Chain A
Amino acid sequence: MASISSGAGAAALRRDFLGSALESSRPKNVIPLHRSIIRASKSSPKLPNRRLRVAVIGGGPAGGAAAETLAKGCIETVLIERKLDNCKPCGGAIPLCMVGEFGLPLDIIDRRVTKMKMISPSNVAVDIGRTLKPNEYIGMVRREVLDAYLRDRATASGAEVINGLFLQLDTPQRPNEQYKIHYTHYDGSTLGGQKKTMEVDAVIGADGANSRVAKSIGAGDYEYAIAFQERVKIPDDKMEYYQERAEMYVGDDVSPDFYGWVFPKCDHVAVGTGTVTHKSQIKQFQAATRLRAKDKIEGGKIIRVEAHPIPEHPRPRRVLDRVALVGDAAGYVTKCSGEGIYFAAKSGRMCAEAIVEGSENGARLIDESDLRKYLAKFDKMYWPTYKVLDILQKVFYRSNPAREAFVEMCADEYVQKMTFDSYLYKTVVPGSPLEDLKLAINTIGSLVRANALKREMAKLTL
């Protein structure tokens, strides 16, 4: 995965993107004095005798991070999660920066992946990870462990965690009134739970790809991929191979627009694949993935089969009045790699920070402009990352020749260094211009060669 844009390019991207964005934003409740500046809502009423009350719907990484930041900011926080021991279907990979930024204890991480193998459609295998320093790794976590840890931290900071299912949201009739949340409380006493309501000032929707909060604010739909995964328990000697290694298989047989993977988990491997455009053939793609990894997972037993939608791009509307979406509910999953855990947690934290700031630690009511500040900050910080990964997906996941070129490029050390630096630390690093030029020439060369071979292949055996 090459880092195509240099620092100047990334800055230009940000300028172009946000220049138009800021000019066209006109939040509903605040009358801006200048058309291009979002005013802080000092005109919002001070809350009498109570603190701001915010409900976080969904207790995954996004919800947990948001709830913790809100609670630390002296805001009355309630987190509603429908399944506290949810074992989510997920790759489970977190970048190094997440461990530092969120202060994750190292025992949460089951495995440290330091080697990755990329395998092309014609089985050319390239090892990447030579450039990693000894303290750098991709952390593999179990989602139930990570999610529970973040929720517990939120509770420790003062948030209230409720085991319940969010049903619907009643928007207030008059401005500055509270939202009414309908939910089913699973308190163990009644079978099927008890229907309850709650009044809150703001809502953070962190309830994932099938978000109900998103539906209730009419956020619109996104295109999504189906990720299908089988957890396979393989014999110990085969597990040795995957001790610190993850594999990525590319090819039309494995997926027409994504990749197949074998990721090591605590004591088994997860073999899976995904697709956006050919969802009905996902089982065939999974069989093809298993075939490609056959030698290495032979003798394994499938202990679990799971599937989940993965958003491809953000929803058309991510914020409405005092309701904001974060994480998968907002659609913050990168292209090319399909990474979402870090962005979910980061967006949850950013949204919560914006609420804390806009409400002056819970003293004032917030409004949409505060939530839009979170959007602006998130978009500005991560737009280059998303755009670069989108370009990579468009260029290298197009067709088999493009994938062959992709794997060929991954053998280059400069590419590996740039890829890992930008993945592990989530910044698009500007490399040296000369190396970038060499990389561009090599990329074009690889693509041209692979496409020439494809033309030869088309002439054979029609």
Chain B
Amino acid sequence: MASLFSSPLPSTLLPTLSTKPHLSLKHPATFLLSPLIRRQYSLFLARSSDANGAGVAAAVEDKVEEKVEKESGEGLGSNGAAAAAAAVVIEEPPKFKDPRWVGGTWDLKQFEKDGKTEWDAVIDAEARRRKWLEDNPEASSENEPIIFDTSIIPWWAWMKRYHLPEAELLNGRAAMIGFFMAYFVDSLTGAGLVDQMGNFFCKTLLFIAVVGVLVIRKNEDIETVKKLIEETTFYDKQWQATWKDDTPSGER
């Protein structure tokens, strides 16, 4: 009956099944073997069709080793009964479980490699936990309070991973723009680099170029910046509306 569930459904409804091997390559220690994964997919489908009302998407994480083993035991019954039982038994989404998540926070000792904590792995683990909870919201429990604070991960770990690659990208862009603009202005006006730097207009252009590279990193950023500027003054305008004598417009 594993084949009954797994073969028709995942191929049509879950194209992401093919991405599973990629994830398991990344973290072989925690992921289960494929047959159990497929069974879990079908069970998730049965559950999500119950329309929980909490908008549960088909979860991909299979941290719930115990739950899956329980379902595989039930699947040994007859086909029809197993299908009905599986759909009824799983009323709530599986909870987030990870051997390194202890007492409501990450156990840093389990992330050690060569005697030093591997912060990248902590960041990855926390991202997976948040993704899991975003897809399957859980009840907040008093017995297992979550006390993890991202500030325990040192600032240089964040910088190395996120700031430095971005900085490299932006510096590269700035350098390319700078080089070609300097050449272009030189060819037009005959002013070399040293002469350009003495000119106020050129310095202004340089400033605009630097700010532009910093602020506009994706195409969408232009719209985002415009919207932000409008947003900062919108509330003020709503409050001042009563002080303007023109007839009130409809919803602003």
B124 at the interface (CB under 8 A from A): yes
> Given the complex of chains A and B, what is the CA–CA distance between A435 and B246 in angstroms?
44
> Given the complex of chains A and B, what is the CA–CA distance between A26 and B246 in angstroms?
11
One of A145-153, A168-176, A200-208, A245-253 at the interface: A245-253
Nearest CB of A to B181, in Å: 31
Whether A25 lies near B137 (C-beta < 8 A) is: no
Whether B149 lies near A411 (C-beta < 8 A) is: yes
Q: Which residues of chain A from 283 to 301 have a CB within 8 Å of any chain B CB?
A: 283-284, 287-288, 291-296
> Given the complex of chains A and B, what is the CA–CA distance between A411 and B152 in angstroms?
14
Known A408-B149, A457-B130; judge A218-B239 contact (CB<8 A). Answer: no
- Complex interface: chain B residues within 8 A of A25 (CB): 243, 245
Known A220-B249, A295-B141; judge A445-B155 contact (CB<8 A). Answer: yes
Whether A386 lies near B239 (C-beta < 8 A) is: yes
A266 at the interface (CB under 8 A from B): no
> Given the complex of chains A and B, what is the CA–CA distance between A288 and B129 in angstroms?
18
Whether A314 lies near B54 (C-beta < 8 A) is: no
A241 at the interface (CB under 8 A from B): yes
One of A83-91, A117-125, A342-350, A426-434 at the interface: A117-125
Nearest CB of A to B221, in Å: 14
Whether A21 lies near B146 (C-beta < 8 A) is: no
Q: Which residue of B129, B161, B250 is within 8 Å of A220 (Cβ)? A: B250
- Complex interface: chain A residues within 8 A of B145 (CB): 125
- Complex interface: chain B residues within 8 A of A387 (CB): 235-236
Whether A316 lies near B252 (C-beta < 8 A) is: yes
A379 at the interface (CB under 8 A from B): yes
A199 at the interface (CB under 8 A from B): no
- Complex interface: chain A residues within 8 A of B142 (CB): 241, 295-296
A51 at the interface (CB under 8 A from B): no
Known A284-B54, A445-B151; judge A316-B127 contact (CB<8 A). Answer: no
A20 at the interface (CB under 8 A from B): yes
> Given the complex of chains A and B, what is the CA–CA distance between A379 and B143 in angstroms?
46
B183 at the interface (CB under 8 A from A): no
Known A21-B240, A125-B146, A408-B150; judge A449-B251 contact (CB<8 A). Answer: no
- Complex interface: chain A residues within 8 A of B141 (CB): 295
> Given the complex of chains A and B, what is the CA–CA distance between A400 and B133 in angstroms?
11
Most buried by B among A123, A223, A386: A123
Whether B134 lies near A400 (C-beta < 8 A) is: yes
B99 at the interface (CB under 8 A from A): no
B215 at the interface (CB under 8 A from A): no
A383 at the interface (CB under 8 A from B): yes
Known A122-B146, A408-B151, A460-B127; judge A291-B54 contact (CB<8 A). Answer: yes
- Complex interface: chain B residues within 8 A of A125 (CB): 140, 145-147
B16 at the interface (CB under 8 A from A): yes
Whether A453 lies near B240 (C-beta < 8 A) is: no
B126 at the interface (CB under 8 A from A): yes
Q: Which residue of A24, A442, A455 is within 8 Å of B244 (Cβ)? A: A24
Give per-residue flags for A431-462: 1 if the beta carbon is below 8 A from chain B beta carbons, else 0. 00000000000100110111011111100111
A50 at the interface (CB under 8 A from B): no
What is the count of residue pairs linking A and B with beta-carbon distances less than 8 angstroms? 173
Whether B127 lies near A123 (C-beta < 8 A) is: no
Known A383-B239, A386-B239, A408-B151; judge A26-B124 contact (CB<8 A). Answer: no
A212 at the interface (CB under 8 A from B): no
- Complex interface: chain A residues within 8 A of B153 (CB): 449
- Complex interface: chain B residues within 8 A of A316 (CB): 238, 241-242, 248-249, 252
Whether A456 lies near B139 (C-beta < 8 A) is: no
- Complex interface: chain B residues within 8 A of A295 (CB): 139-143
Q: Which residue of B16, B52, B123, B238 is within 8 Å of A453 (Cβ)? A: B123
Known A123-B133, A124-B147; judge A253-B54 contact (CB<8 A). Answer: yes
**Chain B interface residue bracket vs A:** 35 or more
**Chain A residue at smallest Cβ distance from B247:** A218
- Complex interface: chain B residues within 8 A of A17 (CB): 236, 239-240
Nearest CB of A to B98, in Å: 13
Q: Which residues of chain B from 97 to 147 have a CB within 8 Å of any chain A CB?
A: 123-124, 126-131, 133-134, 137-143, 145-147
A219 at the interface (CB under 8 A from B): yes
- Complex interface: chain B residues within 8 A of A450 (CB): 150
Whether B131 lies near A292 (C-beta < 8 A) is: no
A222 at the interface (CB under 8 A from B): yes
**Chain B residue at smallest Cβ distance from A127:** B145
Whether B243 lies near A24 (C-beta < 8 A) is: yes
> Given the complex of chains A and B, what is the CA–CA distance between A442 and B243 in angstroms?
38
> Given the complex of chains A and B, what is the CA–CA distance between A420 and B250 in angstroms?
36
- Complex interface: chain B residues within 8 A of A293 (CB): 139-140
- Complex interface: chain B residues within 8 A of A223 (CB): 251-252
Give per-residue flags for A219-259: 1 if the beta carbon is below 8 A from chain B beta carbons, else 0. 11111000000000000000001000000010111100000
Nearest CB of A to B63, in Å: 13
Give per-residue flags for A93-111: 1 if the beta carbon is below 8 A from chain B beta carbons, else 0. 0000000000000000000
B191 at the interface (CB under 8 A from A): no
> Given the complex of chains A and B, what is the CA–CA distance between A386 and B142 in angstroms?
34
B23 at the interface (CB under 8 A from A): yes
Whether B238 lies near A313 (C-beta < 8 A) is: yes
B200 at the interface (CB under 8 A from A): no
A394 at the interface (CB under 8 A from B): yes
> Given the complex of chains A and B, what is the CA–CA distance between A394 and B162 in angstroms?
24
Nearest CB of B to A52, in Å: 23
A390 at the interface (CB under 8 A from B): yes
> Given the complex of chains A and B, what is the CA–CA distance between A3 and B212 in angstroms?
31
B189 at the interface (CB under 8 A from A): no
Whether A220 lies near B236 (C-beta < 8 A) is: no
Q: Other CB < 8 Å A-B pairs besides A221-B251, A457-B134, 11 of them?
A: A220-B249, A254-B137, A288-B54, A316-B242, A316-B248, A317-B241, A394-B231, A452-B162, A453-B127, A460-B127, A460-B131
- What are 28 residue pairs bridging A and B, where the CB atoms are less than 8 Å apart in the complex? A21-B243, A25-B243, A121-B134, A122-B129, A125-B145, A241-B142, A249-B140, A288-B54, A292-B138, A294-B139, A295-B139, A296-B139, A296-B140, A313-B235, A313-B238, A314-B239, A316-B241, A375-B243, A387-B236, A390-B235, A408-B150, A442-B151, A448-B162, A450-B150, A452-B161, A452-B162, A457-B128, A460-B127
Q: Which 5 A-B pairs have the closest CB atoms?
A: A220-B248, A316-B248, A456-B127, A294-B139, A316-B241
